[in-house]
Structure formats: C-alpha cells, structure tokens
Structure 1
C-alpha cells in the first residue's frame, strides 16, 4: 500500500515538471519570437517613401518608391535597387 502511494506521487511530480518545462519554453522562446515577428511585420507595413532603411544583407539606402510587395531604394551614386519588403531589417 505504501509503495503504491509513493509511485502515484512520483507520477504527479513528473506531470507537474513537464507542464512547468512547457510553460518556461513557451514564455522564454515561443512568445518572444512571435512578438518580434509581429513587430517586424508592422514596421514593414508602415514603410513610406523617404525612409532610410537597412536590409538583412546590410545594404543601407533610402526608399524612393514602393508597391504591394517590393520597395525601390536609392543606394547612392544613382543606383536604384528593388527589394522585397520582407528583406528590410530595420529603419535607420
């Protein structure tokens, strides 16, 4: 009888530990990544002509025109390059 009670308590402890690990994983890894993704999407939607940006490849430039999925940036020296909006890392 005592042996059965000890095993039952151990099973409950294991379940509590698993739930705790899942909660920690969610709050320290999944949730911050979702927040970062939402912030990136919002920043890309709010881009306008004249904004200075940096692409994920490290190219710095100023937006000269945009459409639904792409932006054209002036990268200096008269160069105009077209990028997908999703390739923009941040505003300067």
Structure 2
C-alpha cells in the first residue's frame, strides 16, 4: 500500500503527460495523414519547404505541383503541409 502511494505522483505525471502531449500529437498526425490522402488535382497546397502551388498530377506517392510561373516540381505526398482553401 505504501508503494502505491509513493508511485501515485509518478503515475499521475505520466497520465497528464499523455493527455497534454502525446494524444494531441497523435490526433494532429492523423489529420495530416487524412489531408494528404484526400489530395486531388487542382488543390492549392503548401509544401513543408514553403513552396506554394497547385496540384497538377497526383499518384499514390508522388505529387506534381505547378507554381505560379508554370514551373512543375515533383514531391512526395508526405511533403504536403497544408491545403489552402482559397
């Protein structure tokens, strides 16, 4: 019984750590995965490198993004950070 009382603060700390750090991160990763799987031609996107463009062609793992000046660059699907709504 004494051991349980001594371990209670450590257990509580792990529970708080899980709900404040681990769970939100897992939720964010799930949202990013969903966004990357929902990509379609014509979506306006931003890559993790900061390149802004429009999805020109999309494959299972590869995305070709067209920039404003007509430049086409090939990226992995996982390199897409966000889809812009405008």
Matches within 5 A, 1:32-43: 32-43=24-35
Asked which structure has the greater CA Rg, the reply is: 1
Matches within 5 A, 1:1-92: 9=2, 11-92=3-84
Count residues with an aligned counterpart. Answer: 84
Structure 2 gaps of 5+ residues are none
Listed one character per residue, the Cα deviations across residues 37-91 of structure 1 (whole Å, up to 9, x for unaligned) are 0000000000000000000111100001100101001112120001000000001
Q: Secondary structure at the match of 2:81?
A: strand
Q: Which has the higher helix share?
A: 1
TM-score, structure 1 as length reference: 0.86
**Shift of residue 28, structure 1, vs aligned partner:** 0.6
Structure 1 gaps of 5+ residues are 1-7
Structure 1 outlier segments of 4+, above 6 Å? none
TM-score, structure 2 as length reference: 0.92
